[in-house]
Structure 1
């Protein structure tokens, strides 16, 4: 719903390239499907606790590694959102252009997650500060900023009655 809500919001930009909107919504759909696949992996990890602990650890590692490396869909979606925001050439754009630049810079924090499978401990491990917590914080800031501007737009255009 988040991706399609953003798509609807971005479609208010006059003259926005429809390919940007298609890319944004398709990446949002792919990201949602990736998360939908990962959820049963976590469920299978804890479903039978009486199994060999090595298998449980394998399933747990697989679930978390898949979770940390599926960021390509999210990154592409965020870059499409930024490009759409920057394509608004009006004097008072729908979203200030600085939001697009912040959004793009925060998206770059996803890159270390692609190497999470190479390190077992420390800030570059799958659960480390750089590969897990920094991107999670970036997503929180990105989502908060975009939701703020969507809500402001809805408030300005609300019809009561």
Structure 2
């Protein structure tokens, strides 16, 4: 067929090489956080708007920064896009740990599948918030509250993902294990901090409010450090050729059997 030679050359190019795909996946966590962080920059929420503002103040803020909010919607919506291949690569590495039960990798990937909506739901709420700013300011204020709560409060899926990843690293007793144990420590401690913003719906001022030092600044810093460390370590493993790309099937008995070996090199 016409064009087959072009696609054959493309398939053999470095652009579609396994190493390229794995490297993009490995850095996906960092890219996700950057887009997430720039969501607040674009929406003029660094530092954040105040939870104690009146409805009129809240509506006026969005009227003044509506174009930035429109950009922020796109950034937040796309922030989870890179998180999917990143989490899939984490799941692949969990499966590679000798003796670990497949339920750990399955749970981690299932948590990602649910958690991706955490990234996107807030974007759709923000889009709705700034869509009709000629409405009653109290409605805009309610939608603004909902944007902050849906964006900053959901932590269970991230908690499960990180703890599953930390557990797998700790269980990896290979002398040449690809990930150091401090990565496990970060992935265990960070989710505990993620829990703290759960209280933001109880206060409008102070460290636990959405503009506070805990719910915004500490959470953001912790989330960024965790994702950047994970992405850096994962990318290092890819560049060192330490990721196995052998295709496997996991049976009902929990044993992993090789189904097909990729003709490509490990990277």
Q: Does 2:216 correspond to 1:132?
A: yes
**Residue in 1 that maps onto 2:230:** 146
Q: Distance in 2 between matches of 1:104 and 1:129?
A: 21
Query: Pick from 107, 119, 124: which aligns with 2:203?
Result: 119
Tell me if 1:34 matches 2:101.
no
In 1, the alpha carbon distance for the partners of 2:241 and 2:100 equals: 20
TM-score (norm 1): 0.91
Alpha-carbon distance in 1 for matches of 2:159, 2:219: 10
Corresponding residue for residue 16 of structure 1: 100
Deviation at 1:111, TM superposition (A): 1.7
What is the deviation of 1:34? 2.4
Specify the alignment match of 2:153 in structure 1.
69
Separation in structure 1 between the aligned mates of residue 94 and residue 231 of structure 2, nearest angstrom: 12
Q: What is the Cα deviation at residue 5 of structure 1?
A: 2.1
Q: Identify the residue that residue 45 of structure 1 maps to in structure 2.
A: 129
CA distance in 2: counterparts of 1:104 and 1:69, whole angstroms: 18
The structure in which a higher percent of residues are helix is 1
Is the radius of gyration larger for structure 1 or structure 2? 2
Residues 51-73 of structure 1 deviation map (CA, whole Å, 9 limit, x = unaligned): 11111011001111122221111
CA distance in 2, matches of 1:34, 1:79: 18
Question: 3-state SS of the aligned residue for 1:123?
Answer: coil
* Unmatched 5+ stretches in structure 2: 1-83, 243-264
Residues 83-94 of structure 1: pairs in structure 2 closer than 5 A: 83-94=167-178
- Normalised to the residue count of structure 2, the TM-score between the two structures is 0.57
Contact 1:119–1:125 (Cα < 8 Å) also in 2 = yes
Per the TM alignment, residue 89 of structure 1 is displaced from its structure 2 partner at its CA by: 0.9
Question: SS of 1:127's equivalent?
Answer: coil
Give the whole-Å Cα distance in 2 for the aligned partners of 1:27 and 1:114: 19
> Are residues 1:104 and 2:173 paired?
no
Whether contact under 8 Å (2:166, 2:187) holds in the other structure is yes
* Superposed CA RMSD: 1.9
Higher mean C-alpha deviation, range 100-109 or range 47-56:
100-109
- Of 7-16 and 104-113, deviating more is 7-16
